A and B are shown apart, each in its own frame.
Chain A
């Protein structure tokens, strides 16, 4: 599948944004985070900023961005529509909580604010899950309709959001060692899921063949003799994207280095340093993690094979 930059930015940056928003609101609701006004302001600005950036990026993938609001209508059958609806619903309780936390100086762990926090966290999780399900529900792309796709989206969103939360906590001198530890574990878990996913797709040769696609298996093996057109068409541009296995291997290692190795080393080092030193290390940790996810997301598209390519001479998909 063609890796479109708009969709790659959309899925990775909104993932981190909802991860940060959900974690911050949930932890505040349980009284684990301090109800500091400026900290709240920074947290909401950063998470809303990431979410808005990602959602705006997603509209660059549309032929008619001005009609994007129409995508709110079909939530009963379409995961894309559900994602759109949930992403907007999340703004309800989160903006109300932000008002209470920042403007009124309310304690986010006290009722009713804690309920707005918990609602925000739940809606954030559901939004990231629906983003993943847009892909994980597509039968013609077997590498997307894979049981590890949704957990990888969710865990990577939480882990990258958690690293940004860590940046804020260090910046305000409110660092919580347990939180840094938990985020490190989440990051490790997320990439383990991703490694398991790569292992699984490398060993599954693809269920579908040209014999399957054309239904001509009864005639024997099927080979393309003549393509229907000599130049590209939309289908080949969009679904025919292929990446060499060697390049994929390099990019996977790069994604692991940037997304997992770098952030873990920097987060552990940050925990051992005084406040500003820790802050200085936590920023590149969070930045590297996002870069790693961007590479991972690029691969998620580039390595996915669509069954329509079987009509065009692909051996398996």
Chain B
């Protein structure tokens, strides 16, 4: 049966820092590059140089604007498989092709058993699974299972391709089941969160929220005069400045 292990010895996963991700898509490209020849290869592209290309990717980087006006910010949001503890994709799989590994919690697809019914992609709220129209099977993130245990690679390279490629270290890899691991420490410190916890699938991957915005003088060490020139937030402008001359100028000009 598609039995999901009650406990896995490890909970390998990623922690993605939304505060420092710059949205360069290097993770997505490195993932595509590695996995085009990796465990679930090929990641087929259809009509790649044509007018309407279509292809399988494990990693998609969205960009959002969160908040309104001066307090809004750009958040780059890499989205990939979260290797849930209770993966709906595994439970709905009618063939047992989808499975969760008891030893490390990685969710994988056995391409030789998959019938391509696509039900797992319907069951996943995170859009982690993409159907390969060419192979007729479902493809998904393998957490680079063929890198992380690969003794042919330098030890420093035994991390998922996306983690290795990230130029700003916005992606971290480790055992989230071990409360003393560096990555668990990071999640605690930065109050990492689950995506859509109300679905009950208990994602292993965590997202670190953007740090509070630093709009105020002193937050950034910028001089007060520069701050007053910023029209973003009136309450931090000249009328609240500590310089009495500036306050007077502001009052005079506001009349």
Residues in B neighbouring A71, C-beta threshold 8 A = 94-95, 115, 117
Q: How far is the CB of A119 from chain B (nearest CB, A)?
A: 24
- B124 to chain A: closest CB distance in Å? 7
- Asked whether any CB of chain A lies closer than 8 Å to the CB of B116, the reply is yes
By a CB distance below 8 angstroms, the chain B residues around A308 are 124-127
What residue of chain A has the Cβ atom nearest to residue B69's Cβ?
A220
> B-side binding surface: helix, strand, loop or mixed?
loop
- Scan B112-131; emit 1 where CB is below 8 A from any A CB, else 0: 01111111011111110011
Interface residues of B in 119-162 (CB under 8 A from A): 119, 121-127, 130-133, 135-137
Question: In whole angstroms, how far apart are the Cα atoms of A312 and B61 in the complex?
Answer: 11
In the docked arrangement, what's the CA distance between A251 and B199, Å? 32
Q: Does B53 contact A (CB under 8 A)?
A: yes
Instruction: Let me know if B66 and A219 touch, CB within 8 A.
Output: yes
CB proximity to B under 8 Å, residues A43-79: 61-65, 67-68, 70-79
The interface residues of chain B lying within 8 Å CB-to-CB of A81 are: 94-95
Pick the contact of A215 from B23, B114, B194 — CB < 8 Å?
A: B194
Q: Provide the residues of chain B in CB contact with A312, threshold 8 Å.
A: 62
Residues of A within 8 A of B125 (CB): 139-140, 213, 306-308
**What 0/1 pattern do residues 207 to 235 of A give for CB contact below 8 A with B?**
01010111110111111111111011111
| CA gap between A81 and B119 in the complex, in Å | 11
- Is B195 within 8 A of A63, CB to CB? no
For A67-101 the 0/1 string (1 means CB < 8 A from B) is 11011111111111100100000000000000000
Q: Find B79's partner among A75, A216, A226, A311 (CB 8 Å cutoff).
A: A311
With A and B bound together, what is the CA distance between A214 and B62 in angstroms?
10
A59 to chain B, nearest CB (A): 9
Which single member of B3, B94, B127, B210 contacts A311 (CB below 8 Å)?
B127
Q: Do B136 and A73 have beta carbons less than 8 Å apart?
A: no
Contacts A64-B137, A70-B115, A231-B53; A216 near B75 (Cβ below 8 A):
yes
A177: B residues at CB distance < 8 A: none
Does A137 sit within 8 A of B, measured CB to CB? yes
A214 close to B77 (CB less than 8 A): yes
Could you tell me if A70 and B122 are in contact, using CB atoms closer than 8 angstroms? no
| In the assembled complex, A134 has its CB within 8 A of some CB on chain B | yes
**Interface pairs (9), CB distance under 8 Å:** A61-B117, A73-B94, A74-B96, A78-B91, A222-B75, A226-B62, A235-B130, A238-B122, A308-B127
Instruction: Beyond A68-B115, A214-B195, list 13 extra A-B contacts (CB 8 Å).
Output: A62-B117, A77-B90, A139-B200, A214-B64, A215-B196, A216-B18, A216-B210, A219-B75, A220-B68, A222-B75, A223-B65, A225-B63, A306-B125
Which are the 10 A-B pairs with shortest beta-carbon distances?
Answer: A63-B116, A63-B136, A220-B67, A219-B66, A308-B127, A81-B94, A71-B94, A226-B63, A140-B125, A228-B60
